[in-house]
Chain A
Amino acid sequence: MTLAIALSSALSTLVLVLALVLPSIASPAVPFGVRVPARYEGDPVVTRQTRLYRWRVLVGGIAAAGLVVVLYAVTGVTLLLPLSVLLLVGVWYGCFFLANHEIRAAKAAGGWFEGVRPGIAVDTGLRTDPPRFPWLWLAPALIITLATVVIGVLLYPSMPDILVVHRGIPDRTAVKSVATAFSLVFVQLGVTALLTGIAAAIVFGSRPDIDPAHPATSARWHRRYLTLGVTVLLGLLALIDLGMLGSSLLMWTGTVTSWAPLVVVVPILVGVVIAVVVLARNNREPDEGEPDTGLTHREDDKYWRGGMFYVNRDDHALFVARRFGVGWTLNFGNPRVLMLLAGLVALLALVITLRFGG
Chain B
Amino acid sequence: MIINVDLGSEVPIYQQLRDRIVEAIAGGVLSEGSSLPSTRVLAADFGINFHTVNKAYDLLRREGLLQLNRKAGAVVTVTPGDPAFRADWTARARTLLAEAVARGVPAGEVLTTCRSVLESFATTQPQDTP
A and B bind: yes
Interface residues of A (CB under 8 A from B): 116-128, 207-208, 210, 212, 215-216, 219, 293, 295, 298, 314-317
Give the complex CA separation of A306 and B3 in angstroms: 31
Among candidates B5, B41, B44, residue contacting A119 with C-beta atoms closer than 8 Å: B5
Report the 9 A-B pairs with minimum CB-CB distance, sorted nearest first. A127-B37, A316-B44, A117-B8, A118-B7, A122-B45, A215-B2, A121-B4, A128-B35, A124-B1
Indicate if B23 sits at the interface (CB-CB under 8 A): no
The smallest beta-carbon distance between B74 and chain A, in angstroms, is: 9
Cβ contact within 8 Å between B6 and A121: no
23 residue pairs from A and B, CB less than 8 Å apart:
A117-B6, A117-B8, A118-B6, A119-B4, A121-B3, A121-B4, A122-B42, A122-B45, A122-B46, A123-B2, A124-B2, A124-B3, A127-B37, A127-B42, A128-B36, A210-B2, A212-B5, A215-B4, A219-B2, A315-B44, A315-B47, A316-B44, A317-B44
The residue of chain A having its C-beta at the shortest distance from the C-beta of B48 within the complex is A120
The smallest beta-carbon distance between A233 and chain B, in angstroms, is: 23
The smallest beta-carbon distance between B129 and chain A, in angstroms, is: 32
Number of residues from B at the complex interface, CB < 8 A: 20
Chain A residues in 8 Å Cβ range of B35: 128
What total of A-B pairs shows CB separation below 8 Å?
67
Q: Is the interface of B mostly helix, strand, loop or mixed?
A: mixed
Chain B residues in 8 Å Cβ range of A215: 2, 4
The smallest beta-carbon distance between A333 and chain B, in angstroms, is: 12
Cβ contact within 8 Å between B45 and A127: yes
The smallest beta-carbon distance between A130 and chain B, in angstroms, is: 10
Chain A residues in 8 Å Cβ range of B41: 127
Known: A120-B46, A207-B45, A316-B44. A125 touches B4 (CB 8 A): no
